Amino acid sequence: MEKFELDILGCGSATPTTLHNPSSQVLNVRDKLFMIDCGEGTQLQFRRNKLRFGRLNHIFISHLHGDHCFGLIGLISTLALLGRTGDLTIYSVAGLETVLRPEIDFFCKDNPFKVKIETFDPKKSEVIYDDRSVSVKTIPLKHRVPCAGFIFHEKQKEPHLIADMIKFYNIPLKELAKIKQGADFVTDEGKVVPYTHLTTPAEPARSYAYCSDTAYSEKVVPVIEGADLLYHEATFADSDAARAKETGHSTARQAAQIAKLANVKKLMLGHFSARYPDNQVLLDEAREIFPETILANEGLREKL
């Protein structure tokens, strides 16, 4: 099975600690790297995770709070020092161009590659990226500033040909593509061989949903329905639920409730407040509602 795996580079909240870096992660889809948020220290953790800078072409920024985007200019500068020439595209809510472009012009004025900034409307759920392997759709979130999450849908692959059957019927090479697309094969004698006899189903397409900073909102449920993995912020424990509501964040229990309502296969908690020296309390609270819950942590690589 081809790669569809998540690397956690940072899963803390606004204040960096010795336990966690600010938000950032990378989704590897068939050896193409997609970065989601880029807090301070992201490029260092990128190296620690032994990821390849040359395979990173797209970055998705959920919102313009510093712990989700302060790492961008450092990463761009490093990519220039490494001799990058291909374009880098950053997807963000409106405003990033105003903030980031002057930094690029000042610190990276001789950049050998273009940094393109594409904006999206955080109030809409719409496809903002699409290629042969994956599509990326926004998830409107409820925060103090315009904010959106992202859901990555892997494209369904074609069924696998059964080599022995292809050989048995002596099927010409030119017919194989049609069979993989669902066409039956007709022999020279006129016998119809159903494509289901010549192929086996491909592995199910996978999906990953990222819900960045957000207060509890059931509006995300239809968008993330059935995701293989949901990363949902869990900044606070239940004892700090009032603070979560005040700041536009969620508790671990609320994240678990969203996972349950959306029928996702697995929940990953992240964006931990610095007030908790041990995130086990968050995990315990979430598992009371949604047992298939794990904690994010720097260096974690989760294979879907």
Per-residue pLDDT tens digits for 141-189: 999 999 999 999 999 988 999 999 999 989 999 989 999 989 999 998 9
Alpha-carbon dihedral 279, 153, 244, 247, rounded to 10 degrees:
130
Q: Which residues pair with residue 231 across a beta bridge?
A: 210, 268
Q: Enumerate the H helices of 71-206 as residue ranges.
A: 72-81, 96-107, 163-168, 173-180
Residues 21 and 167 in one domain: no
One-letter amino acid identity for 44? L
In this structure, the answer to whether residues 192 and 246 fall within a common structural domain is no
pTM, to two decimals: 0.93
CATH number at residue 17: 3.60.15.10
Catalytic residues: 67
171 & 153 share domain = no
Domain boundary among 146, 177, 200: 200
- What does pLDDT average to over the chain? 96
109 and 235 co-located in one domain: yes
pLDDT of residue 16: 81
- Give CA–CA dist 92/131, Å, rounded: 19
Please count the structural domains in the chain.
2
| Residue 104: other Cβ atoms inside 10 A | 18
21 lies in the same domain as 88: yes
Half-sphere exposure of 48 (CA within 13 A, CB side): 15
Whether 130 and 174 share a structural domain: no
Reply yes or no on whether the pLDDT at 230 is more than 90: yes
Of 173, 200, 227, which residue constitutes the final position of a domain? Answer: 200
- The answer to whether residues 110 and 229 belong to one domain is yes
Q: Are residues 136 and 191 in the same domain?
A: no
- Residue 245: the pLDDT is 96
The answer to whether residues 137 and 153 belong to one domain is yes
On whether both 193 and 218 belong to a single domain, the answer is no
Considering 200, 220, 251, which residue would you say is the last residue of a domain? 200
Q: Taking the CB of residue 65, how many other CB atoms lie within 10 A of it?
A: 21
The domain of 55 spans 4-157+203-303
pLDDT of residue 15: 85
Q: Based on the domain organization, do 165 and 297 belong to the same domain?
A: no
Same domain, 22 and 147: yes
